Amino acid sequence: MMNYLLSALFALSFSVAAVEDIQFEKEWIKVGPVEFQTELALTPEQRARGLMYRDSAENGMLFLYDEARVLSFWMRNTKVPLDIAYIKADWTIEPIQFLYPYDEKGKASKGPVIGALEMPQGWFKAQGLAAGTKIVRCGKKCD
């Protein structure tokens, strides 16, 4: 019994440490006329973690890939309702899709895309942004 408890404690501490280990860089982007700083998910580890285990998604996360492909996102371990805007190769967004907390059914892009922008649910609508909106990566600050 003691070995089982020690093993469980070790596994739990490893899981908690793994949650804290992944760091995300930030970058300014412009979505239509709206400028803000968001986190970047560029590596496989960052993309796999995404916004899991967070209490908010205030500034969202931009997921980027090296080449266009059909993507599908799910909400495993994600408690915040999100909107997802898949990004086509011309840096315009597809129709916004809703993602619901803990829903493990994937929501796929309509076609090949180079990335996705996840934001708090309702953010795109509140900003008046829809399919066809252009996204620009600004770097340290938008002009």
Mean local confidence (pLDDT), 90-115: 97
Summarised one tens digit per residue, pLDDT across range 106-115 is: 999 999 999 9
Tens-digit pLDDT profile for residues 50-81? 999 999 999 999 999 999 999 999 999 999 99
Is residue 87 scored above 50 in pLDDT?
yes
CB atoms closer than 10 angstroms to residue 105: 9
The model's pTM is 0.85
Residue 5's SS3 state is helix
Residue 85, sorted as left (phi over 0), alpha (psi -120 to 50) or beta, turns out to be: beta
70: exposed, middle or buried (Cβ count in 10 Å: 0-12, 13-18, 19+): exposed
